[in-house]
Amino acid sequence: MVGIVAPNTSTRVNTPQAPKNDPRTLPLTFDFSTGLSFSVDLESQWSRAIMDLVQCAYFDNLGNTTRVDWVSDVTKQRVSIPAASQGYIPLLVPNPPKFTVTSNGGTGICTVFLLNVPMPTIVWTPGI
């Protein structure tokens, strides 16, 4: 097939399943006035059982003037959250979670709350 790349292996992801621990969140704040791209490796948090798995994230991009992109290092899932928006997005990530968060020219703050429980997808922009 032309134009399709299919890997020879699959990647185990954590969606949806009951977490081993109680429902938890791990908030990560990205200040785009200090940089436009952040690589995140949660090996330490995962190995210490701070987060046993990540199934979803609540993105709070309300304080940022540009879109924020989240990309899984392993599955290559890409999530884009519009400027001044918020929302819950299911994530396809294996353990330990590794991903990159970028904003093209943003100067504000985006907080990503990683959740170990599934949530339905919804994104909204307040005031619109």
Each domain of the chain, given as residue ranges in start order, spans: 35-109
pLDDT of residue 124: 92
Give the helix ranges, DSSP H, for the chain. 43-47
Cβ neighbours around 15 below 10 Å, total: 13
The tens digit of pLDDT for each residue in 6-26 reads 455 555 666 666 777 788 899
Residue 2's pLDDT band, with cuts at 50, 70 and 90, is: very low
The whole-number average pLDDT for the span 112-124 is 92
pLDDT of residue 20: 73
| CA 57 – CA 89 distance, rounded (Å) | 6
DSSP 46: H
The tens digit of pLDDT for each residue in 74-117 reads 999 999 999 999 999 999 999 899 999 999 887 899 999 999 88
Pair 103, 38: CB distance under 8 Å: no
Report the amino acid identity of residue 81.
I
Indicate whether 128 pLDDT > 80: no
pLDDT of residue 127: 66
